[in-house]
Amino acid sequence: MPIRELVLYHEPILRKKTEPVSLFDRGLHNLLDDMLETMIAERGIGLAAPQIGVAQKIAIIDLGASDVPAPVFSGDEKPKGPEGTLELINPEIISNSGNVKSEEGCLSIPGYRDTIQRKLAVTVSAQDRYGTPFKVSATDLYAFAFQHEIDHLNGILFTDHLSRLKRVLFQRWLEKQDWRK
Q: Output phi, psi for 46, to 5 deg.
A: -160, 155
Distance CA 163, CA 161 (A): 7
Active-site residue among 77, 83, 149, 175? 149
Least distance in angstroms from the C-beta of 51 to Co ion? 7
Least distance in angstroms from the C-beta of 27 to Co ion? 23
Which residue's Cβ has the minimum distance to Co ion? 106
Least distance in angstroms from the C-beta of 156 to Co ion? 10
Those residues whose C-beta lies under 8 Å from the C-beta of residue 18, and which sit 6 or more positions away, are 49, 50, 55, 56, 57, 58, 153, 154, 155
Instruction: Please say which residue, 132 or 154, places its beta carbon nearer to Co ion.
Output: 154
Query: Order of strands, edge to edge, in the sheet holding 72-73?
Result: 46-48, 58-61, 86-105, 113-127, 133-139, 72-73
**51, exposed or middle or buried, with CB in 10 Å at 0-12, 13-18, 19+?**
buried
Instruction: Please say which residue, 131 or 140, places its beta carbon nearer to Co ion.
Output: 140
Instruction: Please say which residue, 130 or 179, places its beta carbon nearer to Co ion.
Output: 179
Binding site for Co ion (CB under 5 A): 106
Least distance in angstroms from the C-beta of 26 to Co ion? 26
Q: Is 149 a catalytic residue?
A: yes
Instruction: Please say which residue, 48 or 136, places its beta carbon nearer to Co ion.
Output: 48
Question: Which are the catalytic amino acids?
Answer: 149
